[in-house]
């Protein structure tokens, strides 16, 4: 049963890579600093937080509990960090190393939070005038282990 849970978590991480790649790719140059409201995070700050969440997921899976608030990077550097952190976490999940916390805890904490923030970036792109095309994600070609910036082309986009 645990192997099935781990594979489902890896599929969720691959889904995060696919959806994250879509919202991070080809963002307008000024988008990283867009602010929807006086107290809201910028997309660049959200991207830094995404990297922190994924680093935290790996640390917890390995038995640590450290949290780190990272500084905002350039959009390109933040995107690279996002995919590197996804890769490191997925590599660990794909290994035979034990998890120090349950798959459910990893999902309900950092991974669910990361999915929420990817959605925020998508919404902010629309607000900032750089919307991405909608897609039927049910039809997306998402594959366990494919967690880098190179993702499959969309199958069913629409406006």
Q: What is the CATH number of the domain that holds 109?
A: 1.20.120.450
Among 68, 37, 71, 38, which residue's Cα sits nearest to residue 53? Answer: 68
pTM equals: 0.94
> Could you tell me the pLDDT band of residue 32, with boundaries at 50, 70 and 90?
very high
Question: Residue 34 and residue 46: Cα distance in Å, rounded?
Answer: 11
User: What pLDDT, on the 0 to 100 scale, is given for residue 51?
Assistant: 98
Question: Residue 121 and residue 113: Cα distance in Å, rounded?
Answer: 13
| Position 1 pLDDT exceeds 60 | no
Determine whether 153 is exposed, middle or buried from the number of CB atoms within 10 Å of its CB (0-12, 13-18, 19+): exposed
Count up the domains in the chain and report the number.
1
Helix (H) or strand (E) holding 157: strand 157-158
Helix (H) or strand (E) holding 134: strand 134-135
User: What pLDDT, on the 0 to 100 scale, is given for residue 68?
Assistant: 92
The two structure tokens encoding residue 131: 């919307």
Tens-digit pLDDT profile for residues 54-106: 999 999 999 999 899 999 999 999 999 999 999 999 999 999 999 999 999 99
| Position 158 pLDDT exceeds 90 | no
Among 53, 46, 68, which residue's Cα sits nearest to residue 111? Answer: 53
Among 53, 11, 30, 34, which residue's Cα sits nearest to residue 123? Answer: 34
Contact status, residue 147 vs residue 86, Cβ threshold 8 Å: yes
The two structure tokens encoding residue 159: 């406006």
| Position 157 pLDDT exceeds 90 | no
pLDDT (average), residues 125-151? 94
User: What pLDDT, on the 0 to 100 scale, is given for residue 41?
Assistant: 96
Instruction: Map 63-122 to HEC letters.
Output: CCCCCCCCCCCCHHHHHHHHHHHHHHHHHHHCCCCCCCCCHHHHHHHHHHHHHHHHHHHH
- Domain span at residue 31 reads 2-158
Contact status, residue 135 vs residue 157, Cβ threshold 8 Å: yes
pLDDT (average), residues 15-26? 97
């Amino acid at each position: 049963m645990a192997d099935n849970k781990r594979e489902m978590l890896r599929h969720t991480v691959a889904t995060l890579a696919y959806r994250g790649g879509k919202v991070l790719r080809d963002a307008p140059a000024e988008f990283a600093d867009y602010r929807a409201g006086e107290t809201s995070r910028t997309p660049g700050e959200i991207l830094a937080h995404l990297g922190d969440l994924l680093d935290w997921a790996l640390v917890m899976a390995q038995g640590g509990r450290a949290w780190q608030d990272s500084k905002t990077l350039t959009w390109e550097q933040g995107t690279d960090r996002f995919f590197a952190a996804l890769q490191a976490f997925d590599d660990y999940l794909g290994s035979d190393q034990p998890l120090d916390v349950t798959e459910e805890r990893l999902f309900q904490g950092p991974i669910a939070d990361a999915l929420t923030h990817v959605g925020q970036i998508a919404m902010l792109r629309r607000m900032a005038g750089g919307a991405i095309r909608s897609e039927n994600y049910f039809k997306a070609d998402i594959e366990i282990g494919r967690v880098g910036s190179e993702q499959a082309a969309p199958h069913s986009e629409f406006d």
